[in-house]
Amino acid sequence: AVVSTQSTGITNNLSMGVGVKLGCIAGLLISVYALWVEHQVKTRSNYLALCDLHQYASCSRVLSSKYAKGFGVLGAIFGDNSVVNQPNCLYGIMFYLIYLTLDTIQQRLMVIQLKFTLSASSLVMSIYLAYILAFVLVDLCLVCLATYVVNIALAVPAFENYYDAMRKFAAESEKKE
């Protein structure tokens, strides 16, 4: 079913305009930078990333931790050499590319539901990784925080569009009965 995503909320311009696309591009750039930092840390001794500000504000330390690959759990489940145990930033790159692609597709109910599910998943992972960052690694990673902000910014219009679509779908279903 084609469900209009017109909204009266403040996120209408973001969801229907360039805001979501810019958010995805920002997320892609941040994730690519994180991948580059991870590679540099592995290949160059004494590498200092632009986002390394202090002993307790070091993205290179965070991005080289065990939690930066497979979210810190996939290696334990599937093995460290498993194809699914990839750097988190690769998952981020895939997420933002898929999300960007979905944003260019006609906003059918299935696309709206998929964007909602992807956004909800990204928020859950952001909360998990923020917990790891703050309470396990006890560090501040500007790159990580930037991805959390992008994920929140993408989730707001996705959630609004989802709930608007569900209300409209329910209203259309009631009319048919």
DSSP of 64-106, one letter per residue? TSGGGBGGGTHHHHH-TTSTT--BHHHHHHHHHHHHHHHHHS-
Q: Does 14 have pLDDT greater than 70?
A: no
Q: Does 8 have pLDDT greater than 70?
A: no
Report helix angle 88-104 to 19-43, nearest 10.
160
Task: Share the mean pLDDT of the chain.
Answer: 89
Q: Provide the token pair at 164.
A: 């608007």
pTM summary value: 0.86
Q: What is the pLDDT of residues 57-116, one digit of tens each?
A: 999 999 999 999 999 999 999 999 999 999 999 999 999 999 999 988 887 889 999 999
Q: Whole-angstrom Cα distance, residue 88 to residue 61? A: 14
Length of the chain: 177
Please tell me the predicted confidence (pLDDT) of residue 145.
97
Q: Provide the token pair at 154.
A: 């993408």
Give the burial class of 31: count Cβ atoms within 10 A of its Cβ; 0-12 exposed, 13-18 middle, 19 or more buried: buried
Name the residue with tokens 């931790």: 65
Longest CA span, the chain: 69
